[in-house]
Chains A and B, each alone.
Chain A
Amino acid sequence: MAEQPPIPPPAAAAPPQPPRKVVLPPHRERAHRPWRVRAEEWVRRNLFASPGQTLLTFASLALVGLVIAGAVWFVFFQANWRVITVNRWLLFAGGFPLDEKWRLWLSVALVFPLIGAAYGMWASLGRRDLLFIALAGAFVFFLTAHGDAGPSSSVWFAASLALFFLGYRVCRFVPRETGRPRTLAVRTLAALLALALPLVLIVLMVGGGAQASQFGGFMLNLILAPVGIVGGLLLAVPLALGRASSLRAISWTCTAYIEVIRGAPLIGWLFVALFILEDVISSPLIVRTMIVLAVFTAAYVAEYIRGGLQSLPRGQGEAGHAVGLSHLQTLQVIVLPQALRVSIPPIVGQAIGLWKDTALISIILPLRELVGNSRAAIAQAEFIPDRIEVYAFAAVLFWIVAFMMSRISQRMERAQGVGER
């Protein structure tokens, strides 16, 4: 109470501005009225315009209130979250040798800075992103700090988060405008991102680590989905180009591939991974599953890319040829970049779909991803009544990743100017 802050001069002290005579359109005119009046008018017009609408408003409010109250009651009073804290390891990595936990954390610490760098390169962290990171981070800290996980998990996670922000900061120094330094930086980052998965697998497996058959829990979803998405994208580009080819043999083959794969549900193809692919490629089931996921995704993505190709005016390719570019060069620098840009939204939709489809895997295959291990957790005698908690937790985990994918895609769309050019 030592010093009072200086009192700002009262607003009235300012010399009154003579109101300028500007004729505003009606909607701008309203903006000059105090917010309370405007809010009141908005409420009356949108919520209570007629008796029917009033009824609907109250009914909706009651419904929303009921749902929220029920959810709050469940989350804070009714649920037994011990089933999650006790089974944390089972749900996240169940099957992975517990002694090799450091390998998982090392992988996280490797991937986090790359994600941060990608953010820094193509977007900036807005307030909403930070809020999301804070919430998700608090969630993970709650899990790592709880029970017998020991301090090491929290330290690993804190370090990974710090590396995320470090990667972000470093890439903020890269100039925004197109040019040689940016191109170099983008290529380096793309190469690092591409090497991330092999690197993670080396960390997890080499030198007395886990075997592929020991991968399980949420970690397995996190490994399978990116392989399916990236592999599918890579397969899809030649498929889309092939389908548009003027050579009948090629276009028919590609069309047949797309139609056959899209003609059966993923569950059917998972059976193929189990029983038929074994005779073609003798490999562990997890590899065959990855192949099926990539092959399945490719058929859909190829069609999105074909749509992108067809949306380009013919002149684009012709212009490329006119300035003396070869067919391949035209594709590489003119046609594909534009076609892929247009296809981003549906491709991301497919990616999110595949991400959630990984939950199907344990229904058919003896691979224990998150949902499979959730079922195992509620078979523990102590937790038989707690299945809603486990499935809700799994849903939240799936949502976190799906939401992140959707946010990143929005950023990419904005950065690439989808729908603007």
Chain B
Amino acid sequence: MRLVMLGLAALLSLMLLAACGGGDGDGQAGGGNAPESVLRDVIDRGVLHCGVKGSQPGFSYLEPDGTFTGFDVEFCKAIAAAVLEDADAVEYLSVASASRFELLAAQEIDVLIRTTTVTAERDAGRGVDFAPTTFYTGQSFAVHADSGIFSTADMDGITICVQSATTTEQNLDDLFAELGYSYVPLGGEDQENQDAFIAGRCDAWTGDQSNLASRISQLPNAADFRVINEIISKEPLAPGVLDYDNAWKDVITWVVYGLINAEELGVTQSNVAAWSEDPPNTAVARLLGVPFEGGEVADLGFDVDPQFIQRALRAVGNYGEIYERTVARVGIARAGTLNALYTEGGIIYAPPYR
């Protein structure tokens, strides 16, 4: 009797969950075989499923009230604003690195914006296509401020904290073999390495330069450490989408390029409304999808209306504004790095929007 009751209750709750959860159009059983664009799915569903890391300072993490925030999250918002006209129409999924590409393949997420490095193997062999790089970083070293180490040339024979069994460790091995130097590795997870380094058990701590900089900047004694100005590997981080979906990839690609173009053209979150009414030149008018001095609106052939970049800009501002609002806050400076605009010595560069 009791068992029957319990069973009924369990069934009831499952059905209830299925019914309520089904309301947001989560089911995609039919969409698997059709070569239909994810763009159409997203518009039909009314919600963008954005795969982020959810635990990386500056890039994606949760505020105390449970809202997602960070550099990667801003791009999710920009895409949602562009496609769905609502920057908040995003369901964020905290994706584990072990299953991120599989989640993309299973269409549990529409776009993966999770500090993912573009590599040939991922592009060719994993069924992933990459949008333009949003953030350039690379492997570097943190050292104690009072040490005499200023570049890899000063590192012969030192102890280095490195995450074991990673590409980080391979890069380090390759570099030291090339230099003909020796070093003592001290392996551990990211957090353990941080502790060991702070406690002085290793002379240097290696990892992504942006990650090192942001973690050190938050320490109470941040001034006791510094990150050297040398990068030993390339880590371009970019949004990923499913292979063979040009309509969707085009939109994401040009949302990213659009935000960069906006910075080059001086369009900001604060002037985008005014400039949409009265654009200062044709380039800005094209970018915002508005007519210039009584002319026609340029339709460039996207599967969304011509004002999609304007909406993204209204929601999150241009590339530089996103950078200042998120990663710059955790001590990842922009000036003088690869992430500066090409006009300022970096390599952030977007093809023309025309």
Which chain A residues have a beta carbon within 8 Å of chain B's beta carbons?
Answer: 86-90, 93-96, 98, 187, 190-191, 194-198, 201-202, 205-206, 211-213, 216-217, 227, 230-231, 233-234, 237, 271, 274-275, 278-279, 282-287, 290-291, 294, 362-366, 368, 372-373, 375-382, 384-385, 387
Evaluate contact between B218 and A285: CB separation under 8 angstroms. no
Query: Which residues of chain B from 1 to 31 have any CB-CB distance to chain A below 8 Å in the complex?
Result: 1-3, 5-10, 12-14, 16-18, 20-24, 26-29
CB–CB A202/B16 < 8 A: yes
Inter-chain contact A194/B20, CB cutoff 8 Å: no
- In this complex, what residue of B is CB-closest to A270? B99
Interface centre among B57, B214, B215 (most CB of A within 10 A): B57
Q: Is B62 an interface residue when CB atoms closer than 8 A count as contact?
A: yes
Q: Mark B297-328, 1 if CB is under 8 A from A, else 0.
A: 00000000000000000000000000000000
User: Quick check: A230 and B65 within 8 Å, CB to CB?
Assistant: no
Q: Which of A86, A93, A187, A194 has the most CB of B within 10 A?
A: A194
Within 8 Å CB of B7, what residues of A? Answer: 234
B22 touches A284 (CB 8 A): yes
Query: Interface residue count for B (Cβ, 8 Å)?
Result: 58
Residues of A contacting B96 in the complex (Cβ-Cβ under 8 angstroms):
362-366
Contacts of B65 in A (CB 8 A): 89-90, 98
Given the contacts A95-B66, A380-B63, A381-B329, A213 and B91 also touching, CB distance less than 8 Å = yes
Looking at B35-43, B100-108, B152-160, the stretch in contact with chain A turns out to be B100-108
Decide if A194 touches B51 in the complex (CB within 8 Å): no
Measured between beta carbons, the chain B residues less than 8 angstroms from A96 are 66
B55 touches A (CB below 8 Å): yes
Q: Tell me if B8 and A194 are in contact (CB < 8 A).
A: yes
A104: min CB distance to chain B, Å: 12
**Which residues of B lie under 8 Å from residue A190 when comparing CB positions?**
1-2, 5-6
| Contact status A274-B108, CB under 8 Å | yes
Q: Can you list 20 A-B contacts (CB < 8 A)?
A: A98-B66, A187-B2, A194-B6, A196-B9, A216-B66, A227-B14, A274-B103, A274-B108, A278-B108, A284-B17, A284-B21, A363-B96, A368-B54, A368-B62, A373-B62, A376-B54, A376-B94, A378-B55, A379-B60, A385-B218
A206 and B66 contact, CB distance less than 8 A: no
**Quick check: B3 and A381 within 8 Å, CB to CB?**
no
The 5 closest A-B pairs by CB, nearest first: A284-B21, A379-B61, A366-B93, A194-B9, A212-B21
Chain B CB count within 10 A is highest, among A211, A234, A284, A376, for A376
Residues of B participating in the A interface, judged by any CB pair closer than 8 Å: 1-3, 5-10, 12-14, 16-18, 20-24, 26-29, 32, 51, 54-58, 60-66, 91, 93-96, 98-99, 102-103, 106, 108-109, 191, 214-215, 218-220, 329-330
Contacts of B99 in A (CB 8 A): 271, 274, 364-365
Distance, CA A291 to CA B64, complexed state (A):
30
Select B24's contact among A87, A211, A216, beta carbons within 8 Å: A211
Minimum CB distance partner of B216 in chain A: A384
Complex formed: what's the CA distance from A202 to B22 in Å? 15
Inter-chain contact A379/B56, CB cutoff 8 Å: yes
CB-defined contacts of B32 to chain A, threshold 8 Å? 279
**Inside 8 A of A98's CB, which chain B residues have their CB?**
65-66
Q: Are A385 and B6 in contact (CB under 8 A)?
A: no
Rounded to whole Å, the gap between the CB of B115 and the closest CB of chain A is 12
B13 touches A197 (CB 8 A): yes
Asked if B108 and A285 sit within 8 Å, CB to CB, the answer is: yes
B98: min CB distance to chain A, Å:
7
